[in-house]
Structure 1
C-alpha cells in the first residue's frame, strides 16, 4: 500500500521503486508448504547508466505518477534472480558471479515494462532528484514540525513546485508523507519496544495524545492499544506487520 493505493503482486511480477516511499507491506498468501519468498535488490544507478550506454538506448519519457510500478517478471528475469540467490551458498560465487548476474538482472529490467522508470533512476532526472532530496530531509526530521517552504528550500524548488511534484511521485503531500512516517515508527516502537501509546506518540512528534490516537486508528484501523492487542493475539498478523 502506498497511501490508499494497493499494489498486488506475486511470483510473476517484480516491483520497481524509484524513490524512498512509506510503503506498508502485507503478505496475503503463504503456507508452510509454499512459503513467502522474495528477492530485494538495491538498484545501482551507476551500473544502470553503464548498461544504458552499452545498449545505446535512447531516453524514454516517464509520465507523471508515483515512483513505484509493477511489471511482469519474464522467464529470463526469474532465471537470473534464481541464479543470484544460488550464489549465496558459495562465497567465491558471490565474489565472481554475483556482480555479473546483477548486471544481467538490470539489463532484463531495462528491456522490460519498467525501462523508463529504471532510466529515470540512472539519469537522475532533475525533478526526481529534487523530490528525493526533500524525501531524505523529511525522513531525517520526521519527528519535528516543519514548513513546506523549509523543505522546498532544501530541495531547491519553490513551495508550489515541490507540492506538485512530490505528490506526483509519492501520491501524497509532504505533510501526509511525514504523518505516514510518524505513525509507522510509532507502531514499531509500541510493538518492538513495548512503548505505551502516549510515549510512542510523543517520541514521533505528536503533542496531542488524542490526535495521535485518531490518526493512528485512521491508518491502521484501530487505536494503538487495540491494534497492538490484535497483532499480538494473532502471530500471523504480527509477522506481517
Structure 2
C-alpha cells in the first residue's frame, strides 16, 4: 500500500502489531511483578520494568535483542545515539560499553521490555542453512542497530515468555523459539550485521577478535600493532573497522571497560580508589581520578557514596 508516494503498513498488519505489543506488555508485567529486573528460568532471557525516567548510567550491552512493549530508552555508543521503543527493537552483536537512560516510563505506564541473549553458535548454525537468506551488508554499520518491530518477532517473544507459566516445557521448547527469533533477525534488514560478526573471514568478524581481546585483557597495555596482528589486518584497516563497529577507538573502548570495572569493584568489593586504579590498569592514581571524574561527573569516592545512597544509577544492561 502507498500513501502520498510513501509505503505504509497495511491496517490489518498494524492492528496485529498493536495487539501483540499490548499482549507482550501484559505478559511482561505479569511475570516481573514489582521487580525492576528479573532473570528468568529461560536461558538468556531477562525481563525489565522501570517506573520512572533515569539519569544516564553506564553498562555493557552483550550480544542480544531487546524488544520494548511499553516506554522507551536511549543508548549512547560513542557519539552515536540509539532510541528503542515499541516500534524499534535494539540489536547488539558484540559486547559494547555504553551510556543509557530510560526516557519514557511512569508508575501508570512503566517501561516494559524483554532482553534475549544471542548465542553466536546458534547464529552460525542458521547461517549454514541454505534456506536462510540474509540481506546484503550495509556499509559502515555499527555492532549496535535498531530495527523495525514485526508481528512475527512480537509473536515469538510472547510465546517464549508463555513458557514461564509451564517451566517443565522450557528445556524442550525455549531453544526452538529462540532459534526462530534469531531466524527472524537474520532474515530482516539488520541480519547482515549478525552475519558479518558471525562469519569467519569477514572483516567485522576479525575485528571482533581484537575487541574480545581488549575485553578479556582490559587491564593490560594495548598496542594497536598487536591488535592488528590478532585481527589479521593492517593497523589502519583495524582502526577503521573498530570505529565502525564500536563507534570509538580501541583506547576509548578500553578506557570505558576499565572505568566500569573500577566502579563495580569500589561499589561491590569496597576497594579504595588508589588500589582499584592499579587493579584496572592505570599507571597513576591522578590519571584515574581525572578520567573517572570526566566520565562519571564526579570523583570516585563521591560517586560511590552517591551510588550507595541511591542518588545515581550504577549501571544498566537492558
Same-fold call, TM > 0.5?
yes
Q: Is the 8 A contact 1:27 1:240 kept in 2?
A: no
Q: Is the 8 A contact 2:210 2:228 kept in 1?
A: yes
Give the structure with the higher percent helix.
1
Q: 1:232 aligns with which of 308, 311, 318?
A: 308
> Where does residue 128 of structure 1 map in the other structure?
204
Q: 1:125 to 1:8 in 2, by over 3 A?
A: farther
Q: 1:41 aligns with which of 111, 116, 119?
A: 116
Whole-Å Cα distance in 1 between the matches of residues 218 and 297 of structure 2? 22
Aligned length: 241
1:98 aligns with 2:174: yes
**55-64 or 177-186: bigger deviation:** 55-64
* Structure 1 residue ranges without an equivalent (≥5): none
> Where does residue 81 of structure 1 map in the other structure?
157
* Structure 2 residue ranges without an equivalent (≥5): 1-75
Q: Is the 8 A contact 2:134 2:186 kept in 1?
A: no
Q: CA deviation at 1:155?
A: 1.6
Whole-Å Cα distance in 1 between the matches of residues 142 and 83 of structure 2? 15
* Superposition CA RMSD, Å: 2.4
| Deviation by residue 1:137-173 (Cα, 9 ceiling, x = unmatched) | 1112111113111111122122222112111111111
Q: CA deviation at 1:121?
A: 3.6
TM-score, normalised to structure 1, is 0.87
Whole-Å Cα distance in 2 between the matches of residues 3 and 80 of structure 1? 32
Runs of 4+ aligned structure 1 residues displaced above 6 Å come to: none
Q: CA deviation at 1:75?
A: 2.6
Q: 1:15 aligns with which of 87, 90, 110?
A: 90
Q: Is the 8 A contact 1:16 1:69 kept in 2?
A: yes
